Structure 1
Amino acid sequence: MNRKIELTVSLEVVQQKNWSEQDKILIAKATNILESAHAPYSGFLVGAALLLENGAIFAANNQENVSFPVGICAERAVLSYAMANHPDIRPVKIVIVAKRKGESEFATVTPCGLCRQTINEYEVKFNSPIEISMLNPNGEILKASGIEQLLPFRFNNLKG
């Protein structure tokens, strides 16, 4: 007999008037850095800000390359930098913002599959979820409590 596996995922919608001070700081850092993204091919600018457990905040943007697989997303760039330089400090929260070059309105964006799997890697490493916040054009934050909300069937543990 076959059985069915069902999972429920959810995102919290946070209106701008209810943003925390931490949200405001991270969104500002991600927004500031997205303007210097190297996106000459897609024209899609992405910025990400990462908060570590010790209060340190890092930001990065997407870096495209004419050889498309060579580029790197903002989320992976900021996680790679932070984890290379602070390998023992747990990432707590990542904020992602995006817009099209020449436009003032933000675009809704969620992490791509590679970024989702990268976030998962650090959740597994630290045995703790990383809150993921994504700004949308309405000035709301879509908040996931951890990667399981965006990647419920993730490639997780190869140790058997």
Structure 2
Amino acid sequence: MLTIDYKELTVSDGMENWERELIEKAKDALSGSYSPYSHFRVGAAVLLENGEVITGSNQENGAYPSGLCAERVALFYAGSKYPNVPIKAMAVVASSGDGITKNPISPCGACRQVMLEYQNISKKAYPVYMVGENKIIRVSDVKDLLPFSFTNVDDVDNTK
């Protein structure tokens, strides 16, 4: 049986200051979104173990699917700039109008795979905060977002 460990929160649910600040950075990242086609803005913020916060926003392109999601923009920059620094936490927020979406959005499959890759590199789980206007969903391990993930083919026993 598959169980997914998550918790529904509100900002007033005893969250620590660093968690609230990370969520605010993800909201601030919405302003950098280039989304003239979908009009769906996404912001992400990645907190690294060294205290650095890297933000990203979705970047669309007329030559679809050449754009990139906010989560991967932030993760790829963090991995390039700080290749050996583990991720402490990540927050994702979206807007399809004047404010953030009522309910949290979850990362797409490609982003989930990249998130898991960075978790596997550091061998350390990190929480992901998916933020909506009315609630926040927190998973404490990226594996909960991608339970049947792609693994290194060298690790797979395909002799059966």
TM-score by length of 1: 0.91
Contact between 2:93 and 2:100, CA under 8 Å: does it hold in 1?
A: no
User: Superposed, which structure 2 residues align to 1:60-71 within 5 Å?
Assistant: 60-71=56-67
Query: Structure 2 residue aligned with 1:9, among 4, 23, 30?
Result: 4
Contact between 1:12 and 1:144, CA under 8 Å: does it hold in 2?
A: yes
Partner of 1:55, secondary structure, is: coil
Contact between 2:29 and 2:57, CA under 8 Å: does it hold in 1?
A: yes
Cα deviation for residue 103 of structure 1 reads 2.3
Which amino acid in 1 is paired with 2:149? R
Q: Provide, for residues 103-133 of structure 1, a one-character-per-residue CA deviation record: whole Å limited to 9, x for no partner.
A: 2242421010000000110111111112110
Match of 2:128 in 1: 132
Unmatched runs of 5 consecutive residues or more in structure 2: 156-160
Unmatched runs of 5 consecutive residues or more in structure 1: 1-5
User: Superposed, which structure 2 residues align to 1:131-150 within 5 Å?
Assistant: 131-138=127-134, 140-150=135-145
Partner of 1:159, secondary structure, is: helix
Contact between 1:31 and 1:47, CA under 8 Å: does it hold in 2?
A: yes
Match of 2:44 in 1: 48
User: Superposed, which structure 2 residues align to 1:91-130 within 5 Å?
Assistant: 91-100=87-96, 102-107=97-102, 108-130=104-126
Give, in whole Å, the separation in 2 of the partners of 1:41 and 1:27. 25
Match of 2:35 in 1: 39
Cα RMSD after superposing both structures: 1.2
Q: Provide, for residues 117-160 of structure 1, a one-character-per-residue CA deviation record: whole Å limited to 9, x for no partner.
A: 0011011111111211011221x210011111111111022223
- The percentage of aligned residue pairs carrying the same residue is 36
Contact between 1:50 and 1:91, CA under 8 Å: does it hold in 2?
A: yes
Contact between 2:6 and 2:139, CA under 8 Å: does it hold in 1?
A: yes
Query: Structure 2 residue aligned with 1:154, among 124, 145, 149?
Result: 149
Cα deviation for residue 24 of structure 1 reads 1.2
Which amino acid in 2 is paired with 1:21? N
Give, in whole Å, the separation in 1 of the partners of 2:83 and 2:29. 23
Partner of 2:65, secondary structure, is: helix
Contact between 2:26 and 2:91, CA under 8 Å: does it hold in 1?
A: yes
User: Structure 1: which 4+ aligned runs deviate by more than 3 Å?
Assistant: none
Cα deviation for residue 10 of structure 1 reads 2.5
Partner of 1:93, secondary structure, is: strand
Contact between 1:13 and 1:141, CA under 8 Å: does it hold in 2?
A: yes
